[in-house]
Every structure is written in C-alpha cells, then in structure tokens.
Amino acid sequence: MMVRVAFEAGAIGAEHDHPHIQCSLVESGVFDITITGQTRRFTACDSFLVSSNARHGAVAVEAGVLVDVFTPIREDFAEP
C-alpha cells in the first residue's frame, strides 16, 4: 500500500515501530529521519528503507511530503 503524508515545518512523526516493511521517498522538503537510533538528513528525491519492527521517526526540518510504501498492507491505514 502507498500513502502520501504532508508535514508542516517542525512537525514530528513520533518514533514507533510496526511489523511492515516500509520504503519511503522524500517528495519534497527536508527531514531528519531516525531509524534504530541513527539519524540522517534526507531531502527531495532521497529514499530510505525501514525494516520490519525497526523503531523509527521523522522531524520535518522544512515543510514537505513523504511517500511511504508498506508491505503487507497496513490495516490501520485502510479505509473501511
């Protein structure tokens, strides 16, 4: 499943984990992404992979958009 998430500057995607594999593309903006305790800065056209059950989170340094792909589908994001 693919989702597009817009962030305002300074927004925080709280650290969390899930059993899904996640691949993310920075469509626009600048993000500090933390995966298993390591933080890297990503800008437009960068991508990153989050392994199953890896703790991760995001901080929007600038307003921007992340496009996230999950496998298997995230039932908590699916429409009823």
Please write the tens of the pLDDT for every residue from 12-71: 999 999 999 999 999 999 999 999 999 999 999 999 999 999 999 999 999 999 999 999
Residue 57 identity: G
Question: What is the domain extent for residue 26?
Answer: 2-71
User: What CATH number did the domain enclosing 12 receive?
Assistant: 2.60.120.10
Tokens 């298997």 sit on residue: 72
Residue 80 inside a domain? The answer is no
Residue 77 inside a domain? The answer is no
Burial class (CB in 10 A: 0-12, 13-18, 19+), 52: exposed
Residue 78 inside a domain? The answer is no
Total tally of structural domains belonging to the chain: 1
Query: Which comes out higher in pLDDT, residue 64 or 78?
Result: 64
Residue 36 inside a domain? The answer is yes
Distance CA 30, CA 16 (A): 20
H/E stretch holding 7: strand 2-7
